[in-house]
């Protein structure tokens, strides 16, 4: 995923954008007022400074066509964080965020191209580097789950989990990392 350009030849639509995201600097977001930051899930200036360089460069800036974005990227990230934190439906997005269908399209585009995972991996790598560790984890955790069995379940398919002291059935372990599969 290409990173945001350090120096871009494009001209800005607005001399003094209030946000430094690409949609404000080079897109159509200048036609909309910047939303007030009011939720605990809104990105702080420090978080935004860490996140912004990791955001993918839009296709229209790479010459792949399309229209410049019309909504602030920071507002889009804030909306997604709000949705995940509060567990709401897309259509229940508060009105001070961009329209829910635009936020969903933004998220869906990232998800479908694997950018959500890549974004997560980049952030994890930065945190691990700051802690003096390798950027990639070298170990994973595998956990299993036992389900309590009823008295009518046959003894041949029933066992005893000594760690959890449960008389039940063993379920397949959940894999923590793809390399463990």
The domain of 162 spans 143-180
pLDDT tens digit sequence for 123-133: 899 899 999 99
Structure tokens at 13: 């639509």
Same domain as 169, residue 96 = no
Q: What is the mean pLDDT of residues 95-107?
A: 91
Please give the pLDDT value at position 33: 66
Residue 118 lies in a domain: yes
Residue 6 lies in a domain: no
Overall pTM surpassing 0.75 (yes/no): no
Same domain as 99, residue 160 = no
Counting the structural domains of the chain, the total is 2
Please give the pLDDT value at position 82: 94
The stretches of the chain forming alpha helices (DSSP H) are: 22-25, 45-51, 73-86, 100-112, 115-130
């Amino acid at each position: 995923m290409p990173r945001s350009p350090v120096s871009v030849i494009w001209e800005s639509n607005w001399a003094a954008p209030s946000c430094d995201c690409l949609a404000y600097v080079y897109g159509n977001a200048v036609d909309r007022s910047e939303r007030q930051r009011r939720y605990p899930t809104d990105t702080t200036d420090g978080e935004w400074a860490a996140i912004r360089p990791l955001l993918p460069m839009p296709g229209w800036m790479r010459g792949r066509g399309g229209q410049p974005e019309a909504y602030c990227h920071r507002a889009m990230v804030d909306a997604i964080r709000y949705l995940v934190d509060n567990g709401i439906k897309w259509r229940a997005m508060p009105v001070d965020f961009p329209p829910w269908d635009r936020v969903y399209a933004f998220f869906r585009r990232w998800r479908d191209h694997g950018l959500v995972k890549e974004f997560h991996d980049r952030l994890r790598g930065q945190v691990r580097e700051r802690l003096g560790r390798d950027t990639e984890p070298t170990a994973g955790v595998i956990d299993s789950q036992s389900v309590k069995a009823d008295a009518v379940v046959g003894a041949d398919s029933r066992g005893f989990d000594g760690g959890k002291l449960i008389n039940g059935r063993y379920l397949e372990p959940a894999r923590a990392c793809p390399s463990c599969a």
